Structure 1
Amino acid sequence: MRPLLAFLAPLLLALPTAARSPAKTDFSAIDARMQSLVARYRLDGASLWVSHNGQPVLIRYYGGYSEATRIPIASASKWVSALVLARLVERGTLRWDSTVGEWWPTAPADKRAITLAQLFSHTSGLPGDESGCIANALTTLQACAGQILAGPMIAAPGSTFAYGGLSMQVAGAMAERATGLGWDTLFARELTTPLALTATEFGLNSSAPGIVTLPNPRIAGGVRSTLSDYRKLMAMWQADGIIREGPNAGQRYLAVSTIRAMQRDHAAGTAKVDVPNVPQSIGNWGYGFGYWLLPTTRAGAPVVESSPGAFGFQGWVDGAAGIAGVFMVQDTNARMAPEAAAVQADLARLLDPPRFTQSAGAAMNPPPPPRQAVRGRPLSQAK
């Protein structure tokens, strides 16, 4: 973090950058809220992108952030990695019901029935934590998956929701086995190339420029990205699978049927044994493949799809309201989740006033998460 004077200088001397905001919409309250959180939490900066009904209406950079700023996005990586797997499912290389046993015939018997869908919805029965090899840059993804599969189960596959990165590490290794390609190669082929992402990779803790490749990428939490890149993912999702920017604009990236499969609540009917505090404090949440389904009470808007990371970064799509966005900060999600929710509520008031109600504001702007929750842990610990 920079000294207080250093980060306040650009905040005081420069207006935030804007792009294509409709004249009829006054975003000054959004600017004030974002400038305030940068100052109050002494952040290096922040960025915000918003699309309404498929059209970008707001791009802002605050403090020291610019279009080139790239930061670790932690668990917002889950949605990113899920897209790679979805493309492999569409190719027929994998199925959502592909099992560990198909690709690891020597895996322990209690792991062989775990499916790809369960691995990417935290319902595999593997422990919901971030321990062991997933943060070890000196091993390989295949070796790490082998260690995880040799470890304990906490429940039968499909019976329990336990949030963590172990199961997704196994899913990434399954993709490698199914294709014969390394994860970084798959990531480029299935995601960064078709969507024209230029600064998104798995160099989470690296400060090196360019694209960093690792033998053991952290599938559930290792991505670095920029506002310019991550907004392309949210724009594609908002457009129901159609690419909105870059040389492939207008082409279909994912079939609608694939997106619908990813949007189902795959945690429904499971015992919730390990849940981060933020969704736990909201209640009535669900989980798709790689992201949360969070409730609202606005008419016609039952959920907001969101994938917040441990450092506060998150992308979200509110399909019924026609709003998609990226909230880019680097701090802790325990502090930033209420801030992001408040920004989302303000945007809904501005852009979707007919359906926004006072009760909706409460749903989208929950109280700060408790310091400690029964059988849960702060989302700030979830990478």
Structure 2
Amino acid sequence: MVQLKNGNLLIKEHLSNSTMPAYTDDSTIHIASGCKWPAMTVIMKLVEQGKLSLTDTISKFYTNNEFSQQQSQITLLQLMTHTHGYGYFDDWVATLDINLQDSALGIAQGGQLNGKYVPKEDLKNPPGTTVLYGDIGMQIAGAIAEKVTGKGFNQLFLDLLGNPMGMVNAKFTAFDGEIGDNVAIADGFYVRMIDYANFMLMLMNGGVFKGQKILEKSSVDAILQDYTGNLKVDPSNSNYATNGKLSFGLGNWILNDGTRHSSNGIHKFYNYFDTQYNYLAIFYLRTKLDTQDKTDDLFDKLSLQIDKIVNSTSSFSQPTVTIKSTSFSQIIKLQILILTYIIFM
């Protein structure tokens, strides 16, 4: 799917081979880490409403020394930008049969899970000094959002983002899309491709969707700001860095010198929007490939083809131009079919 900032749809195709049915407009899939972006947008909406501040610390919400002295001083912003000092992941995020508050307290204190002791999560880096991509900080941020509102996180999503934008059947779930009470803030989300595109379109248009203000522009600017480009990158993340730098906004990767924002998911969900050429692209890939590397390669090749066409046609970048997308659609469809044939057949 490729769409312009002004809403013009350049292409939306559901392709498949003879052995696997295609998705449809109504297909909802689990997008794993792709949910980080809408999740952090929900929390940013609470900031906009004055219920939270990015400078709030954990100690403001967990007042009984549940977290260590160092961890209690971690800010909400650090929890949302992979700069909190925690590692990538732990059992307190993945376990299904606890709730989100139990998850946060388990991260802080450790305890029994399914008959065995699971330790607390210690910091790997001093807060605010190092960027290390992961799920733990956002899990705590989600627990804080529940704590200040008295609502479950999925209900917050529906109230603040899902329902206002008409996201049909979109929902937060437990880890890896499973059923459970422990909402995985950074990994559990089902959504339709067209609804995720609308979410990105809203951000591209300064918080406005179909004439309705979903977010203040200042909130959108905060979501898209680079918070980590000047920080040290943890050695475990060095493969993701460009020139030793790793740039994150609130829930999104910042790429191409700040002109591209993305929140991909490991289950073959790819997306980005480009602020230089004012378009977005989304790919859901249902394949039988066992390795992520091959689907990453396909996505990279498709992105290059789209870039070549969009970037070489200056009118595509103008938000007021009405596009007749037939030729674009046919070219992209051909490229997709050729690449799909070469890589998958």
So what's the TM-score if we normalise by structure 2?
A: 0.79
What is aligned with 1:125? 85
What is aligned with 1:71? 29
Return the letter of the residue paired with 2:200: M
Q: Is 1:225 matched with 2:191?
A: yes
* 4+ long deviations beyond 6 Å: none
Aligned pairs (5 A) from 1:216-365: 216-243=182-209, 249-273=210-234, 276=237, 279-280=240-241, 284-295=245-256, 302-330=258-286, 333-353=292-312
Distance 1:264 1:283 in 2: 19
- SS of 1:87's partner is helix
Structure 1 unaligned regions, length at least 5: 1-47, 244-248, 297-301, 356-383
Distance 1:130 1:219 in 2: 12
Distance 1:79 1:303, change over 3 A: same
Contact kept, 8 Å, 1:75 with 1:221, in 2: the verdict is yes
**Structure 1 residue 341 displacement after superposition:** 2.3
Q: Is 1:179 matched with 2:149?
A: yes
Distance 1:352 1:52 in 2: 14
Deviations 1:21-40 (A, max 9, x none): xxxxxxxxxxxxxxxxxxxx
Distance 2:213 2:261 in 1: 20
Contact kept, 8 Å, 2:41 with 2:223, in 1: the verdict is no
Q: Is 1:57 matched with 2:10?
A: yes
Structure 2 unaligned regions, length at least 5: 17-21, 110-120, 315-345
- SS of 1:62's partner is coil
RMSD: 2.1
Return the letter of the residue paired with 1:117: L
Distance 2:7 2:235 in 1: 35
**Structure 1 residue 157 displacement after superposition:** 1.1
Q: Percent identity?
A: 26
So what's the TM-score if we normalise by structure 1?
A: 0.71
Return the letter of the residue paired with 1:314: Y
What is aligned with 1:34? none
Aligned residue pairs, count? 292
Contact kept, 8 Å, 2:39 with 2:251, in 1: the verdict is yes
Q: Is 1:161 matched with 2:127?
A: no
What is aligned with 2:320? none
- SS of 1:169's partner is helix
Distance 1:75 1:319 in 2: 22
**Structure 1 residue 62 displacement after superposition:** 0.9
Contact kept, 8 Å, 2:161 with 2:214, in 1: the verdict is no
What is aligned with 1:100? 58
Bigger helix fraction: 2
Aligned pairs (5 A) from 1:143-158: 143-150=102-109, 151-158=121-128
Contact kept, 8 Å, 1:234 with 1:315, in 2: the verdict is no
Return the letter of the residue paired with 1:154: K
